């Protein structure tokens, strides 16, 4: 019964929290409307998710999110430094092709989203066979180091979070 009402409980909880963040108030009316949306939207979209993504470790997901937030803060500082102190002709932007070993569509989406959310990089394209992500990097002296850092810092952790 509970499984039918909440086909994706984590999505329901996330939607409710996002709702409260958007309205910036916790009232009975917002709780009812947010709760309604948190139940109805996953229920409506459940047929499009035949298999729920399974998290190997929710704690690893929490540490991953905290790490990404920290990386976003550091990247904002670095991008500000590049914009303010590097002459435009000295900016060395690069396209970096990153081979990925992830198989789960959710893990690949998390990796691409993490890259895009981090200032200074953007995931531009996923190959048709989902084996590579093309990333644009605003400023780097070593594109290979960018590739290696993304693979070791993000992809390795996502492999632990989402089982193959």
- 103-144 pLDDT, tens digit per residue, is 888 899 999 999 999 999 999 999 999 999 999 999 999 999
pLDDT per position as a tens digit, 32-42: 999 999 888 88
Residue 2 has pLDDT above 70, yes or no: no
pLDDT exceeds cutoff 80 at 6: no
Domains of the chain: 2-48 (no CATH), 58-161 (3.30.70)
Residue that wins the pLDDT comparison between 50 and 11: 11
Q: Tokens representing 58?
A: 């929710």
Whether 74 shows a pLDDT value over 90: the answer reads yes
pTM value is: 0.76
Q: What is the mean pLDDT of residues 56-64?
A: 85
Given a cut of 90, is residue 77 above it in pLDDT? yes
Classify 69 as helix, strand or coil. Answer: helix
What one-character-per-residue DSSP string does 42-106 give? HHHHGGG-SS----S-HHHHHHHHHHHHHHHHHHHHHHHHHHHHS-GGG---EEEEEE-----HH
pLDDT confidence band for 1 (50 / 70 / 90): low
């Amino acid at each position: 019964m509970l499984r039918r009402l909440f086909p994706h409980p984590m999505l329901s909880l996330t939607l409710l929290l996002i709702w409260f963040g958007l309205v910036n108030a916790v009232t009975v009316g917002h709780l009812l409307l947010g709760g309604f949306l948190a139940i109805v939207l996953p229920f409506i979209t459940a047929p499009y998710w035949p298999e729920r993504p399974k998290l190997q470790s929710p704690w690893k997901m929490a540490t991953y999110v905290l790490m990404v937030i920290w990386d976003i803060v550091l990247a904002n500082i670095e991008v500000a430094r590049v914009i303010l102190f590097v002459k435009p002709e000295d900016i060395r932007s690069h396209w970096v092709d990153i081979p990925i070993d992830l198989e789960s569509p959710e893990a690949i989406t998390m990796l691409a989203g993490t890259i895009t959310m981090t200032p200074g990089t953007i995931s531009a394209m996923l190959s048709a066979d989902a084996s590579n992500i093309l990333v644009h990097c605003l400023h780097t002296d070593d594109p290979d180091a960018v590739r290696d850092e993304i693979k070791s810092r993000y992809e390795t952790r996502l492999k632990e979070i989402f089982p193959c």
